[in-house]
Amino acid sequence: MILRRAAVLGAAAAMVLAACGTGTTPAPSGATAGCTVGVSWNNFQQPRWAAHDEPNLKKTVEDGGGKYISADANLSAEQQLTDVDTLISQGAKVLILLAQDNKAILPALQKAKDAGVPVIAYDRLIEDASILYITFDNVLVGKAEAEAVLAKVPTGNYVLIKGDPGDPNASTFLPQGWDEAGLKAKVDAGDITILNGPDGTFTDAWKTEKAQQNMEAIIDKAVADGNTIDAILAENDSTALGVVGALTAKNYGFPPLSGQDGDPANLNNVALGKQYVDVFKNANELGKTAGAAALELCKGTAMASLTLPSGLIDASVAPVAGLSAKPFTTPDGTSVQSFILQPTPLTAENLQVAIDAGQITKEDLCKGVDPATGPAACK
C-alpha cells in the first residue's frame, strides 16, 4: 500500500555518473537564498522518484540556498489540486509538477499563473505554453526499446504493454519511438503481428499488478488461439515487472521484453535473462536539472534564457558544455521551453554502466545469477 508521506525524505548525496561516488552538486551561479521550491509528486509508487529524482532535486535546491517543500498526491488527481494550493500557500516561488493527469492538473496550473508562480512540468508533459518541460527524450526511449527488441526478434508475434492512458509518454511519445524504430513498418508489411490489438493494452497508473493481470489474460488468449508470443514491448519497468510476473505465473518462458527507468529489480531481471533491454534514464541528473532550473526561475530568469552551468549535469545525459533551454513542440502544436536529457539502453552486454552510475550495486544486480553463465558485470 502506498501511504501519503508525513515528511519529506531525507536528502541523499548526489551521484555523479563519471565519478561513481558521492559529492557536492555545484550550486547554480547566483542562486537566490530563500527561494522556496514546491514539488507536487503524483505518487511514490515508482521506485525511482524516492530513490533518485527527489534526493538530487532537493539537494540541488538546498545547495543553492533554496528551501524544498513537497507533497505526494498518492495517485489522486483531485488531491494533487489541493496539494498545489497548499504549496502556494506555504510560499512556493516555483512549482515543479509531476502531474497525475495532464488535463486534470490545468486548474492548478492556472492558480500558479494567477499567483505569478512559474511551473516546471517534471517528466510528464503539460501542454501549456507557460511551462518549462524537463524530461528525458521519451521518443528516443521508445525508439531504443523497440530497436533492441526488433533486432533480437525481427519477425513474429508481439505484445504491446503501454502505461497510463492519461500520460502523453504512454499514449504518444513512446509509441512514436517504437514506430521510428520500424515497428509500424514491420506490422504494415506483415512481418509482425500485434496479438493484443493494434493499440496494445494500457495500464492504469502504470501499476505492476494491473500489467500482470492484463498480461496473464493476453497469455491465456494466445494459448487458446494457438499463438506464440515472440516478443513484448513494455513501456516502463513497473509494467515490465508485471509482464515478468505473468510469464512466471503462467510458466511461459521469457520472450525478449523491454522496459525503462533502470529500476533495480528490472536490472536484475536483465542479468537473469527475464528482461532483454532496460532503457536507463539517469534520474539523478534529471533531479539536478529541475532543481537548478527552479533556482534560476526564482531569480526571475526567463524560461527561454535558462542555461545551466557546465559541469552540473553529467555528459552522458547532456553531451554539451552547459545546458540551455530549447523550444519543444507538443503533440497539440504548443511550443514550450524544455530541457530534454538523453537515455542509455542497457542489455546484458553493458550492465556495468548501471553499477558505475551508482544506480545499483553489483550484489543486487547479480542476485541469483550464475557467474559462470551470467553477464560480464556479474563475473
User: What is the rounded distance in angstroms from the CA atom of residue 46 to the CA atom of residue 281?
Assistant: 13
Q: 284 with 25: CB under 8 angstroms? A: no
pLDDT at residue 322, rounded to an integer: 59
Closest CA to 138 of 281, 239, 275: 281
- Please list the pLDDT of the chain residue by residue as tens digits (379 residues): 333 333 333 333 333 333 333 334 444 444 466 899 999 999 876 778 998 999 999 999 999 999 999 999 999 999 999 999 999 999 999 999 999 999 999 999 999 999 999 999 999 999 999 999 999 999 999 999 999 999 999 999 999 999 999 899 999 999 999 999 999 999 999 999 999 999 999 999 999 999 999 999 999 999 999 999 999 999 999 999 999 999 999 999 999 999 999 999 999 999 999 999 999 999 999 999 999 999 999 999 999 999 987 788 888 887 554 589 999 999 899 999 999 999 999 999 999 999 998 899 999 999 999 999 999 999 9
Question: Looking at residue 237, what is its pLDDT?
Answer: 97
CB 313 within 8 A of CB 322: no
The confidence score (pLDDT) of residue 319 equals: 59
| 238 φ, ψ (degrees, to nearest 5) | -65, -40
Q: Quote the pLDDT of residue 336.
A: 97
And the C-alpha cell for 90? 506555504
- Residue 6 is predicted with a pLDDT of 37
Q: Report which of 200, 195, 186, 201 is spatially closest to residue 147, judged by C-alpha positions.
A: 186
Domains and CATH numbers, the chain: 14-136+282-342 (3.40.50.2300), 138-280+346-378 (3.40.50.2300)
- The one-letter code for the residue type at 39 is V
Crossing angle of helices 264-272 and 237-249, in 10° steps, is 50
Candidates 156, 170, 149; CA nearest to 257 is 149
Judged by DSSP in three states, 81 sits in helix
Q: What is the pLDDT of residue 213?
A: 98
- Residue 253 C-alpha cell reads as 518462458
Burial label for 140, CB within 10 Å (0-12, 13-18, 19+), is buried
CA separation for the pair 339, 356 (Å, rounded) = 24
Task: Report how far residue 379's alpha carbon sits from residue 377's, in angstroms, rounded to the nearest whole number.
Answer: 6
- Of 85, 72, 124, 118, nearest in space to 102 by CA: 124
pLDDT of the residue at 136: 93
CB 377 within 8 A of CB 302: no
The pLDDT of residue 23: 38
